[in-house]
Chain A
């Protein structure tokens, strides 16, 4: 019931904004669409973060780099392998398997040895692993930017746009795919954790590993499932996002998406998968609308009207922090969060 109220309130706020901006080409409506489109990307990363937090109570700073590694694997297979033409779908499957393998290696070499230590140690270890992966990317793929083609093209060969236009903003097919995948994953994982034995076993492991072991559930197996799945989700996020970011670079997911992804996860509730979805959308919309307001709203100082962005530099970040603080002060567990 409470979740329904939160989701309803969020939707209502966006609806009011859209209603107020109706008919105004320079109004905020297109920026709500931008916010949702960008927020879906954040949500995709946030879901992986939440999955690991739900399963092992760890903030995983390497989550973004599962995605960058997967994107690089797709790039190499699709763009650089000359001897044989590899279909995009095959490259994606190989890349996702690669991401899962990296996740399992991380679990075995870093997470499991530190599992019973202080959580802060494990957190720092995830940062170290992220840096290691960035180093590997620099070594293997070199630092210069690359263009990763999308799974779904935006235009025909004749230049005709293939996506949909909403409030004057062209939403490309790849971004529509991201929104669909995000929604699907949120529902699927929500069901997994609430209705399946394996999902419940994972939650039980995260709450009391000793008691879980006593009743015959293998903690190590649960850990493997969690980190492998999270790496898979990270891989999905990277493969879907990197083509629309304009440039594939080492560390690209960490520098571009991880911080908003974390914000989305915290805002939505670190234990809620639908919350990660909602958090991503809220973060995207707050950023986008703040960008719009910063340029279109003016403040008169000493008789000179100046755009808000010149008075408050970094307005989108400031707006996001304010929203985050307000939400956490009112609902410390996040918008849809609750105890596992």
Chain B
């Protein structure tokens, strides 16, 4: 009971360390999402609409990345960003920037897969109508993506879900440095390993509330979309 009471106090007592961790998590996850979403949607659209050499390979790579263990992404990035690695001179290892890159890589295939699915599932007349009315290929693409916006939003929300909840990549390339790269998941892992459950529970509650809130927003938006 004491642990629960302490976690409630941390959450609602304005604990600076706890809210700092939450801010880092949101900041890194959202920036990763912003970085991955435009190219993810663009690649997904091309994969859905065009037939070209290597398309099948790209689809297989994207599908494989969907289920890639986050620690493996972290390991690869670690090797690339460490001092001896090809990008070591950038000195990104154990920074939020490295975590953003890692989360963007994790989110990217999710955005691609949802976009492929949304565009392939769209009414074929939507794109044809745009073209017949004189839209350029770019305008027709934007129109079709706009027509599938609710399906695309689901991809973005799923991407955010993966970014905010993954621990392996953030731990390996962030280093779990207090006040710098310690986010919700790495903090929970650390506190639990020390036997300090209060902060872990408080942060776990935040994660669950975030997940529920985002899905609630999605449900409302999809409801509005369905009424159109």
A binds B: no
Which residues of B are in contact with A by a Cβ distance under 8 Å?
A: none
Which residues of A are in contact with B by a Cβ distance under 8 Å?
A: none
